Amino acid sequence: MELHSTPPADGVIAAAVEMPEPDVHVVTSSGMLIPAHSKILASASPVLESIIERPQKRRSSDRNIPILGVPYDAVPVFIQFLYSRKCTEEQMEKFGIHLLALAHVYSVPQLKQRCTRGLAQRLTVDNVVDVFQLARLCNAPDLRLKCMKLLSNNFKAVAETEGWKFLQNHDPYLELEILQFIDEAESRRKMRRRRREQQSLYIQLSEAMDCLEHICSEGCTSVGPSDMDLSKHKGPCSKFSTCHGLQLLIKHFGTCMKRVNGGCLRCKRMWQLFRLHSSICGQPDECRVPLCRKSIWNCIS
């Protein structure tokens, strides 16, 4: 294979002032030679340090380090990062996946973090399967989790992509792992939804209990104790949002004829409120809520 030399990306190495002559060359898959300095490469990557310090089989003044398995034009960007610790957004857009692979293989944690963030920002339905597979191989848990979340939230769209179809045909174990994650995520969502509904119900019941005591003890609008003048409570209640509805329910309960036979759903709801209040009331002998004596409920039961 014929080798040829090329200047480093963006003149990073060439721009270095008073830097010694390069003593190694990085060889890409196309045969391109990138001049570099062994000390800089070794200080940036322990893997490259091991390669550089490895004894040569042939005595030669030229020392070549092959970096293969990625597009040849991604390698100068990788070398550039080893020198400058910088990577542009344009380079990340074009070579992010390849740079993550190189960062993992050659143990460059700063570049790996940069690629993880950059790829996470660029996740789409079309590339999420490929990025997920790479994140799994490169041990990038943060990126892997972001991929999983996007897969879970947009699975119908992802299932139509070529990446997912390829995964189904070539890696059924990974497909099963993804489907299990989606199933668990859906179960967690349902559980959180149930908890929110339960919390909302508890809040509503708590407010209803407080409102019931408020009406039966203080009186409000047109409903209250028989020995209380309600003329000063004509305005709408400002304490509880449920007060007006509960007053209507109490009025209905007092006049409904169906409740005697247990045929009225609204009256059953009122009975439930009375019974719930009785079960939690700490002062049943002094409480002004009707039927707030546990002995009554014991007889009814």
Summarize pLDDT for 61-109 with one digit per residue, the tens: 578 899 999 999 999 999 999 999 999 999 999 999 999 999 999 999 9
What are the residues facing 66 on neighbouring strands? 27
Distance of alpha carbon 164 from alpha carbon 185, whole angstroms: 19
Query: What CA–CA distance (Å, rounded) separates 170 from 82?
Result: 35
Residue 16 lies in a domain: yes
| Residues 77 and 2 grouped into a single domain | yes
CATH of the domain at 16: 3.30.710.10
Answer for the pair 146, 153: CB distance below 8 angstroms, yes or no. no
Asked whether residue 112 falls in the same domain as residue 216, the answer is no
What is the total count of domains within the chain? Answer: 2
Domain span at 231: 189-300
C-alpha span between 251 and 225 (Å, rounded): 13
Among residues 100, 122, 144, the one where a domain terminates is: 122
Last residue of some domain: 122, 141, 159?
122
User: Which residue numbers in the chain have pLDDT < 70?
Assistant: 1-18, 56-61, 226-236, 238, 259-262, 284, 293-301
At residue 295, the pLDDT reads 40
27, β-bridge pairs: 33, 66
Question: Of the residues 102, 122, 142, which one is the last residue of a structural domain?
Answer: 122
Q: Determine, yes or no, domain membership for 102.
A: yes
Q: Name the phi and psi angles at 86, rounded to 5.
A: -130, 150
One domain, residues 3 and 109: yes
